[in-house]
Structure 1
Amino acid sequence: MTALDARPAVLGSTELAQVDALWRAANYLAAGQIYLMANPLLHEPLRPEHVKPRLLGHWGTSPGLNFVYAHLNRAILTHDLNAMFVTGPGHGGPALLANTWLEGSYTEAWPEVTQDADGMRELFKQFSFPGGVPSHVAPQVPGSIHEGGELGYSLAHAYGAAFDNPGLLVACVIGDGEAETGPLATSWHANKFLDPVRDGAVLPILHLNGYKIANPTVLSRIAPAELDALLRGYGYEPIYVEGSDPETMHQAMAAALDSAVADLAVIRRHHDRPAWPMIVLRSPKGWTGPSVVDGLPVEGTWRSHQVPLAEVRHNPDHLRQLEQWLLSYRPEELFDDHGRPVADVTALIPAGERRMGANPNANGGILLRPLTLPETAAHAVGVPAPGATLAEPTRALGRFLRDVFALNADRANFRLFGPDETASNRLDAVYDVTGKQWQAAVEPVDEHLSPDGRVLEVLSEHLCQGWLEGYLLTGRHGLFNCYEAFVHIVDSMVNQHIKWLRVHRQIPWRRPVASLNYLLTSHVWRQDHNGFSHQDPGFVDHIANKSSEVVRIYFPPDTNTLLEVAAHCLRSRDYVNVVVAGKNDSPNWLDAEQAALHCARGVSIWEWASTHTDREPDVVLGCAGDAPTLEVLAAAKILREELPELAVRVVNVVDLMRLQPEAEHPHGLGDREFDALFTPDRPVIFAYHGYPWLIHRLAYRRSNHAGMHVRGYTEHGTTTTPFDMLVLNHMDRFQLVIDVIDRVPGLVATAGVLRQRMTEAQGRHRRWIRVHGEDLPEIRDWTWEG
């Protein structure tokens, strides 16, 4: 194992001086952003009032990122690369802001931050300043697709960007702190799914600077041979760049990149899975910053992680050290009198879209082409009457997605992601036209594995989510299907993506991207066989808490509504869409035309299921979700037969956010619309797919909120029968009838016999399943018209 700094020099004196000047300029700008709000070029002695009152930002990782960015610029020019940059270290904002300003892409995005002294002052002041930009890499930074506020996702994003992107090189810097996270550890395996010819390439650059916020990092402290074995075991050929002397490190890094690019050129000519090159960069944390502060070592330690000199405004010695530190970069050699970068600094910066800050892949909406979608009616199931036929909703969706793949095959811009559940979730019709992408060994018993497949399955929800985010943000389309209970694994990841989208939507030069679409199936009400561990509908609650301009939640009650919702989501832009649907045989309530109208409304009265529609209802039965809809209709049928004079209104909700007031969500209903559906004062019995308190939260401002009684999942789960899950959580048809009797004035006195029969039916059910192990025949064979 030999570091490349032992190889012959590849940089001539001129190129060496230029790459060093570019690095020094970026370091100067990175440090200046953390500290200065005036006197950006140090044309006068530094005074306390030139320094920001609150010092925020992170220095420690910035010089290493600047070093990599400078050398990638040189490699782009030397080898004519189409490259983009993914920043793993969480708070590398100063570095990326510095480099995009130097290359001009930042000024193109934000013309008020000019490429001169005034613009430099604005660049410095806005950083981590009220009304400015964050300290991490955020959507405001051109060339970025990766939110730096949370660690672990960079490599997954990089591979997602590379899929179906031949000719693209995604350079991904992985911080050694980030390398300790679970999502990043899984992401190393993404190279088993990347086709060298059809896809782009990912060049991981593991940056070992030794420390996190306050502790050493694992990969920097294990023996070099152990680290090498680990990386080779993952399927990479590591190239090592190690040291602290700038000239030696420049030569080593240039040689490393030249070697990696040469290897990639060979790899891209063959479909066989290679050992992919990667670079391990070992440099001091806080490199080129203050060595010692207040008698304590800083450079090369955890103390350089954030702000090395913390008392600059009040401690003259700190102020003196800051000035010496900034002057050590010799800014007079890097910027002219007007603050513009000099020729030596810009000599190795590519032009136009070859600049990493201007690469169109990092503003994917520029490249986005709409999907050609099949007609939903062509996949609709026949519904001669409500409930007259049965179908597996996601099986029909699988056929629809099969045609999406076929219609867009020439564009290679759609993929299906999931953790080993595509067939389990009944979407396996897609295998008629595509396989599962796979570059590792194939055995005779395997099915549907293919190096050019468009389905990506790996048993890591983190990796599926990261791939999809990278794929979408570089201008493509996708769908993530997952068991409902286990999508929670990506709660934090989707939170970051939603925040990214919220800011992205406010930036005029960011173009809309395809929405992140979730299909959650194998859901809580049909996980009776797997038991309590598989029963959790709470992801919707997590999403409902997020930015209303970004999130959408849908509960299609049957097959045809699922098809309409799916088509809508695949056409949408800049949203996170969550669709919850069943995969088991269930009744079809609406034909294709009715489904389209219902989905367009988002919520509507089902007149065919209601009684006495010519007068005000005595009670409203609301429902959202396939299992709740079935139980509400079964309860409505009992009431129709047993209490024929009772006016019952059935309201189905497919777009959950319609329940919110219009002031709180773009899809929200006005109060008059809401009251027209649910009445201002009549009892509402609402059966909901998930936790019942979410409905209360969405509707708490409504005039009739006090009259709403919500049934849903209340954490009562086990291995049992499908109907028993409903009984355990008090959302079965018998309980809904009891709720009506208890809440409609006068019924307690007149419908006591019916109430008693409902209670007896629940008891009969419990006794039956404990003897027979399956639901009562009257439950299994129930039909709306039967």
Structure 2
Amino acid sequence: MTVTTDLASPSASPPLGFPGWSLAARQAADAVPDQAIDAFWRALNYLSAAQLYLLDNPRLARPLRQADIKENPSGHWGVCPPVNYLLAHLGPLTTWRPAESELLVLHGAGHAGPSALAHAYLNGALHLTGKGPGWSMPDLRALITGFPHTERFGGEITPLIPGVRHTGGQLGPALAIAQGMVLDAPHRLVVPLIGDGELETGATAAAWLARRALVGTGHHGAVLPVVLANGLKMGGPSLLSGMSQDEIHTYFTGLGYVPLIDDGTDLRAFRRLLAHAFAQVRPLGEAGPQPVIVLTMPKGHTGPVQVAGRQIAGTPAVHKTPLKSPAHNDSEFATLAAWLASYRPTELFTTQGRPTDLVRQALPGTPTEPDTAPPPASPAARKDRSRPDVSAVIRERAGHGAFRLFSPDEIASNRLRLAEDGSLPDWAAEILNEEICHSWLQGYTETGRDALLATYEAFAPVNTSLLVQHLKHRRLRYRAGHGGLSSVNYLITSLGWRNTYTHQNPGLISSLLDTEDSFVHVYTPADATRAAAVLSVMLAGRDRVNFLITDKHPGPAFPPDPFREELTDGAAVWPQLSHRGIPDIVLASAGDIPARELTASVAPLRRSHPEAKIRYVHINDLAVLGPAPHWPYALSERAFTRLFGNDTPVLMAVPTYASTVRALLAARGEAHRFHIVGYQDPGHPLTPEGLLEQCGLSATTLCAQAAYLLKESSS
């Protein structure tokens, strides 16, 4: 059954923006018969199911035998049919899309791996046995029998599968990532496929409303959300499935959308609904109602309904493999044979493993890859500047286009001045949701542009899971040969050292360094000028996940001479505070507040211990302290010794948890002589001065600790 709400009714605003897509939908409907769409859908469904179960007989050219079946079928079936239904209908639109436009599908459900692999095979992008067109009987057999392709593609949604731009498994951000993808890209239309279970996540719930924060922020592409309201999560009914159609309609209408509800039983009706949605979709950032397609096709549709009296359809059994052991169970074997045969695979694939002419009529045209060429480097990274600040670097980079700043309602609080009159420019967006800001940034950078997320230190850890998941995505993307991606850049300020007790949490850095991921860099510059230069480098770089920790309050400026080495090597000796020759103690700082306090401890230490030789080192990137090969930018053993000596005691002041840095050094076998001082939860509110004292990070306490280390080393 189809329920279509008339978006063009007198109460709705007139459609704005994408008439070319409406024409494309009509042209595709005229050129591609319904039978071809149905065949494409059956082919996707067949390949999805066959990957779970078959060892041989890939097109069922002969009756199924138990020897054809995998001993231990694994993978996910249930979400595939609704996803396949959308992919089959969207395929022809990539052929008939408007000139120089781009249609991207974003998988919200990570469990649709068999579907994504099937789709990549059918459109010729998946090469399993060679470098040919990807269509052959050996390739078809390799696709089916090799699933879940554990070491090559995996069984779930990853960028190792051609055409995948978002790694599944992290529920919730798909809608916001899609929004980020179309920002400043008026040629782009993104269709995120969102599971009804995902609607229960905070990230998705916020993303429906989040588009209002982008109204009037420039010329953008469009997002056409599709909710796969299949009724089930992994373990039971979704909350959406308990709502009536009237309640669903009211829910989305209240969010500013117009729901187009369809159950997928009438293919011709769904094609009309899709064309209607394309005709009415608005560019992101324009006010007014937007269409959202709600596909109520049941989870696991077209699969087995019952086996030996056991209900399968409508139960959690459809989530993974509905039939657990058909190779050893006669009832399940018979059910599997009938299930696979229902797709009539010999009508879908030739004896050479190629899609038949009927299927090929509906296949997508060659998709346009996002432009991932880096924009020109910001002049901030190329020329000397007189005492630049972070705000100036951001403004200058924004002036070159293809740039966005996202912040959870904290731009003014973080003392970022983005316009001369103090207003918020179009290229900056605020919304009180860390996850949405990250997802926008992720979508924006995934499509080749530069972005920055500015946030409080204490709130950034909300995004830990998203960042760890995105690191996995980047690792796989890089492994698949898709390097050169714009960096993920975080500006972490409003530091806990100056904030209330509830706003003290440097935990994000700990979690990211714990991954030992070579993409991660944690920059801890000593002053505002250094922070500005670091930010310029971050914004001009590629294939990194960067975190810049810098205080928003003015602090002391330090001599610039050592900074070139700090920037290139990650750490450097400050000669103005160091004696020549072998030191008796090394004082090392990371971050501006630790540098302020530790440098202030040098003069009283020299007065109390005039005979002691001191070497002062500043660390600009915490990641260089870890050992190779985990950290490819790590200090070499020779450089590490040049900075810290061989057996010299080292007092190191850091803005993070001390244990985070201690773990990096322990991996080098250097923990014993390094005395790390960092944040410790005080357990109750304190003044900023009291917090420094409590943590041992005030100039006074650092001087006392250095004196103690000198005494211990000489005894």
TM-score (norm 1): 0.84
CA positional deviation for 1:50: 2.6
CA contact 1:517–1:578 (8 Å) conserved in 2: yes
Which amino acid in structure 2 is aligned with residue 374 of structure 1? A
Local SS of the residue matching 1:374: helix
CA positional deviation for 1:79: 5.5
Q: Does 2:202 align with 1:213?
A: no
Q: In 2 relative to 1, CA 107–368 (structure 1 residues): closer, same or farther, beyond 3 Å?
A: farther
Of residues 261, 272, 279 in structure 2, which corresponds to 1:255? 272
Q: Does 2:540 align with 1:567?
A: no
- Structural RMSD (CA): 2.6
Question: What does the per-residue CA deviation read over 1:252-299, in whole Å, with 9 as the maximum and x for residues that have no partner?
Answer: 2101111011113xx45x975121111111111100001112312212
Q: 2-side partners of 1:109 and 1:550: how far apart?
A: 31
CA positional deviation for 1:463: 0.3
Residue ranges of structure 2 left out of the alignment (5+ in a row): 7-25
Q: 1-side partners of 2:663 and 2:670: how far apart?
A: 13
Per mean C-alpha deviation after superposition, the further-off stretch among 13-22 and 273-282 is 13-22
Local SS of the residue matching 1:111: coil
CA contact 1:176–1:208 (8 Å) conserved in 2: yes
CA contact 1:84–1:171 (8 Å) conserved in 2: yes
Of residues 408, 411, 414 in structure 2, which corresponds to 1:419? 408
Local SS of the residue matching 1:690: strand
Aligned to 2:577: 609
Aligned to 1:680: 646
Q: Does 2:117 align with 1:97?
A: yes
Aligned to 1:460: 433
Aligned to 1:653: 619
Of residues 258, 282, 302 in structure 2, which corresponds to 1:237? 258
Q: In 2 relative to 1, CA 233–111 (structure 1 residues): closer, same or farther, beyond 3 Å?
A: farther
Q: 2-side partners of 1:271 and 1:484: how far apart?
A: 29
Q: 2-side partners of 1:117 and 1:164: how far apart?
A: 43
Local SS of the residue matching 1:744: helix
Q: Does 2:378 align with 1:372?
A: yes
Aligned to 1:404: 397
Aligned to 1:360: 369
Which amino acid in structure 2 is aligned with residue 397 of structure 1? V
Question: What does the per-residue CA deviation read over 1:603-636, in whole Å, with 9 as the maximum and x for residues that have no partner?
Answer: 11111112xx233211111111111111111111
Which amino acid in structure 1 is aligned with residue 79 of structure 2? T
Aligned to 1:32: 50
CA positional deviation for 1:118: 1.1
Q: 1-side partners of 2:340 and 2:233: how far apart?
A: 24
Aligned to 1:200: 221
The count of residues paired between Structure 1 and Structure 2 equals 692
Q: 2-side partners of 1:79 and 1:652: how far apart?
A: 55
Q: 2-side partners of 1:704 and 1:42: how far apart?
A: 62
Of residues 29, 42, 65 in structure 2, which corresponds to 1:47? 65
Aligned to 1:302: 316
Q: Does 2:551 align with 1:582?
A: yes
Local SS of the residue matching 2:378: coil
Aligned to 1:709: 675
Which amino acid in structure 1 is aligned with residue 568 of structure 2? A
Of residues 564, 575, 584 in structure 2, which corresponds to 1:596? 564
Local SS of the residue matching 2:304: coil
Aligned to 1:493: 466
CA positional deviation for 1:701: 4.4
CA positional deviation for 1:716: 1.3
Q: In 2 relative to 1, CA 668–459 (structure 1 residues): closer, same or farther, beyond 3 Å?
A: same
Q: In 2 relative to 1, CA 323–455 (structure 1 residues): closer, same or farther, beyond 3 Å?
A: same
Q: Does 2:95 align with 1:126?
A: no
Question: What does the per-residue CA deviation read over 1:569-610, in whole Å, with 9 as the maximum and x for residues that have no partner?
Answer: 11221111111111101000033x542332122111111112
Q: In 2 relative to 1, CA 163–14 (structure 1 residues): closer, same or farther, beyond 3 Å?
A: closer
Q: 2-side partners of 1:622 and 1:449: how far apart?
A: 39
Local SS of the residue matching 1:105: coil
Q: Tell which structure's C-alpha radius of gyration is larger.
A: 1
CA contact 1:173–1:205 (8 Å) conserved in 2: yes
Q: 2-side partners of 1:700 and 1:71: how far apart?
A: 55
Question: What does the per-residue CA deviation read over 1:132-155, in whole Å, with 9 as the maximum and x for residues that have no partner?
Answer: 322221011222211111210110
Identity within the alignment, %: 33
Q: 2-side partners of 1:332 and 1:240: how far apart?
A: 33
Q: 2-side partners of 1:575 and 1:125: how far apart?
A: 36
CA positional deviation for 1:748: 9.2
CA contact 2:594–2:697 (8 Å) conserved in 1: yes
Of residues 180, 192, 205 in structure 2, which corresponds to 1:172? 192
Which amino acid in structure 2 is aligned with residue 3 of structure 1? V
Aligned to 2:697: 731
CA positional deviation for 1:194: 5.3
Per mean C-alpha deviation after superposition, the further-off stretch among 730-739 and 104-113 is 104-113
CA contact 2:187–2:221 (8 Å) conserved in 1: yes
Q: 2-side partners of 1:225 and 1:320: how far apart?
A: 41
Aligned to 2:492: 520
Q: 2-side partners of 1:633 and 1:468: how far apart?
A: 36
CA contact 2:649–2:674 (8 Å) conserved in 1: yes
Question: What does the per-residue CA deviation read over 1:202-236, in whole Å, with 9 as the maximum and x for residues that have no partner?
Answer: 00111111000111011121122222111011111
Residue ranges of structure 1 left out of the alignment (5+ in a row): 354-358, 382-394, 434-446, 750-786
Which amino acid in structure 2 is aligned with residue 274 of structure 1? G
Q: In 2 relative to 1, CA 638–53 (structure 1 residues): closer, same or farther, beyond 3 Å?
A: farther
CA contact 2:71–2:325 (8 Å) conserved in 1: no
Local SS of the residue matching 2:226: strand
Q: In 2 relative to 1, CA 129–632 (structure 1 residues): closer, same or farther, beyond 3 Å?
A: same
Q: In 2 relative to 1, CA 618–229 (structure 1 residues): closer, same or farther, beyond 3 Å?
A: same
Aligned to 2:82: 64
CA contact 2:94–2:365 (8 Å) conserved in 1: no
Which amino acid in structure 1 is aligned with residue 330 of structure 2? P
Q: In 2 relative to 1, CA 687–418 (structure 1 residues): closer, same or farther, beyond 3 Å?
A: same
Q: In 2 relative to 1, CA 14–171 (structure 1 residues): closer, same or farther, beyond 3 Å?
A: closer
Aligned to 1:332: 346
